[in-house]
Chain A
Amino acid sequence: GAGVSQSPRYKVTKRGQDVALRCDPISGHVSLYWYRQALGQGPEFLTYFNYEAQQDKSGLPNDRFSAERPEGSISTLTIQRTEQRDSAMYRCASSLPRGTLLRTGELFFGEGSRLTVL
């Protein structure tokens, strides 16, 4: 598609279950970012990739959170043993068409995946 696609759009799960959130970036975009956003707050950086390499995961809250982008395109954010405090909107963004200089560029955001942990 033309934009960043995230799935599922809504996920309700019970505490202790694992969840996987998927991001399909704009075709050809090199960089992919994951953010978490609470209602009315700014996006909180989680991690980002250039191609398939995870460049920075300093924002992942703890070891229950992990992300991968094995072929440099689609990415999955996995949360193991979910807790109620994990409830939030998880946003993915992509940037930098392949072939451009590897500089920070503007982000193109998806509509997000809203996670609710009961």
Chain B
Amino acid sequence: ETGVTQTPRHLVMGMTNKKSLKCEQHLGHNAMYWYKQSAKKPLELMFVYNFKEQTENNSVPSRFSPECPNSSHLFLHLHTLQPEDSALYLCASSQPGQGAEEQYFGPGTRLTVT
């Protein structure tokens, strides 16, 4: 595997379910990000991790809980979601300290909350 991978690619869950999204990067980067992409809206930053430490939480509701056990893996734990949380969730990584931080994106997880 190369680049940034995300699993699952598609997820349908009820509002009372608990599920997790997984992101893995094979690029040796030390910064990882979760973005939410909804129709007709700009990409919304959710969380940023630098060297496994959370450095930004963009006022995300507590029903979204991130976890970064190491620099290569990032999870987004979901519980008691709302239908408006249905969106494409994108993971990205970058290497801090190398000038312009080009971010590399995974293919996303298409989440549908029923």
Mutual binders A and B? no
Could you list which residues of chain A lie within 8 angstroms of chain B, going by C-beta atoms?
none
Could you list which residues of chain B lie within 8 angstroms of chain A, going by C-beta atoms?
none
